[in-house]
Amino acid sequence: MELLSGLIDNYYYFVAIILFVIGMHTMLTHSNMIKKVIAMNIMDTSVFLLFVAIGYVHGGRPPIIAGNEEALYVNPLPGALILTGIVVAVSVTAYALSLIVKIHRTYGTVDCDEICKIRGDE
């Protein structure tokens, strides 16, 4: 019972892990490259969600100092880190997509299995 209520209280951790597994599974098993990139983003975003959730303090205010030093603040550090993480994820996505464009130009498909077949026939 304690475990269950612990899970319900911290459901965002749970959601993050489920998203992570969905992302990783799709990324490794789907043969469509665009889907792989989408899955990569789902996976990254799930970790960002987890990180931001760690920094959340129940009933906390935004971490802006407004004269009143006693107030409870949300931990600002994870937010700052994840901002960097998002930038990194965007650049990886951009690179992956540009790579897919090139692959489509050379092979005429964005499906990994078909590319394997084309390469096998050569």
Partner 1 sequence: MVLSEQLPALIVISPLICAFLSPLLYRRHARASAYLVLLSLLLSLVMAAALLIKVQRSGPLFYQMGSWPPPWGIEYVADPLRVYMLLVVVAVSLWIFLYAIQDLGHELREEVIGWYYTLYSLLVASMAAMTLTNDLFNLFVLMEICAITSCAIITIKEDRECLEAGFKYLILSAMGTGCFLLGVAMLYMVTGYLNFDFLQEELSTAVLNYPLNVFTAAALFIVAFGTKAALFPLHVWLPDAHASAPSPSSAMLSGLVIKIYAFTLFIIFYRVFPRSLLDSLPLSEIVLWLAAFGVMFGSIYAMLQTDLKKMLAYSSIGQIAFIFMGIGLDQRLALVGGLYHIAVHAITKAMLFMAAGTVIYATGVRKISDLAGIGRVMPLVMVAFTIGSASMIGIPGTGGLISKWYLALGALESGRSLFVLVILLSSLLNAIYYMPIVINSFMSQEDFGHEAREVPKVLQSALVIGMIFVALTGIFSRPLIQLIEAQITLLF
**Interacting residues toward partner 1 by CB under 8 A:** 20, 23-24, 27-28, 33, 36, 40, 43-44, 47, 50-51, 54, 77-78, 81, 84-85, 88, 91-92, 95-96, 99-100, 102-103, 106-107, 115, 119
The minimum distance between CB 41 and partner 1, in angstroms, equals: 10
Q: CB 81 → partner 1: shortest distance, Å?
A: 5
Q: Write the secondary structure of 51-115 as one string of H (helix), E (strand) and C (coil).
A: HHHHHCCCCCECCCCCCCCCCCECCHHHHHHHHHHHHHHHHHHHHHHHHHHHHHHHHCCCEHHHH
CB of 65 to partner 1, least distance (A): 16
103, 99, 105: which is closest to 116 by C-alpha? Answer: 103
Residue among 24 and 67 whose Cβ is closer to partner 1? 24
